[in-house]
Amino acid sequence: MDEIVIRAMQKWPNVPDVFGWLKLDRRGNWLVKSRAEAAGEPVFDRISNQAVVDFIGRNYQPDAAGRWFFQNGPQRVFVALDYTPLVYRLSGDQKSIEAHTGAAPSSIKRAWIDDGGQVVFETDLGPGVALDRDLPALLEKIAVVDGRPVDDESIESVAAGKGPALAIVLGKRRVPLGSISAAEVAPRFGFEPSPHPAPGEPEC
């Protein structure tokens, strides 16, 4: 967390939280509410200013209830999630992954294929879906744990919850690969896709 943010939190410790203004899409883009349509539905625009994107990423984390937020000075801005709280992309050498925030995990615990064919990683930073454009390269890195060659049928069987034990090979790491349904991801990893204030919790 930025030092300027820490100082602001110490100076103004009781600023109400903000809900419904910031979103994270499946490609790791931050979206901010810009206006409301006639029907009352909010309209979100992508944040393109790189300095702002980097600032949000450095000050993004979960609270004890699994609600992810951006600490904007003394104020928590809670983030609605299109899927997972992090989006992982392959590193430049394709031997590891990094989060959309720019942080690199020190531990990649496990990977999962969901029922939509997306890859979800579990790391020390938190759970995150793989960036869609990296999926072809990730699928090429899947190997059968017992040494047998991998094929499309093996991958499909894992997505269906059966078949041989597979792993994604990232450099020297062999990350175990399992199956999960998209509906199970949030409860399994304990995060809240649509944060809202707790009873009695002030907001603005």
From first to last of its 204 residues, the chain has per-residue pLDDT tens of 556 545 544 544 566 788 989 999 999 999 999 866 656 678 889 999 999 999 999 999 999 999 999 998 788 899 999 999 999 999 999 999 999 999 999 999 999 999 998 999 999 999 999 999 999 999 888 887 665 656 666 666 665 656 667 889 999 999 999 999 999 999 999 999 999 987 766 555
122 near 130, Cβ under 8 Å?
A: no
Query: What CATH class does 3-82 carry?
Result: alpha beta
Residue with tokens 């983030």: 79
d(CA 115, CA 145): 21
Q: Is 48 helix (H, G, I), strand (E, B) or coil?
A: coil
Sign of the Cα torsion 106, 111, 116, 118 reads positive
List, in order, residues 6 or more apart from 39 with CB less than 8 Å away.
none
* φ and ψ at residue 127, rounded to 5 degrees: -80, 145
Domain residue ranges of the chain, discontinuous segments joined by +:
3-82, 86-188
| The pLDDT of residue 176 | 92
* φ and ψ at residue 4, rounded to 5 degrees: -65, -35
| The pLDDT of residue 12 | 45
Pick left, alpha or beta for residue 141 (phi over 0 → left; psi -120 to 50 → alpha; otherwise beta). Answer: alpha
In this structure, are strands 42-46 and 18-24 parallel, antiparallel, or unpaired? unpaired
The pair of three-digit structure tokens given for residue 182, joined into one six-digit string: 């998209």
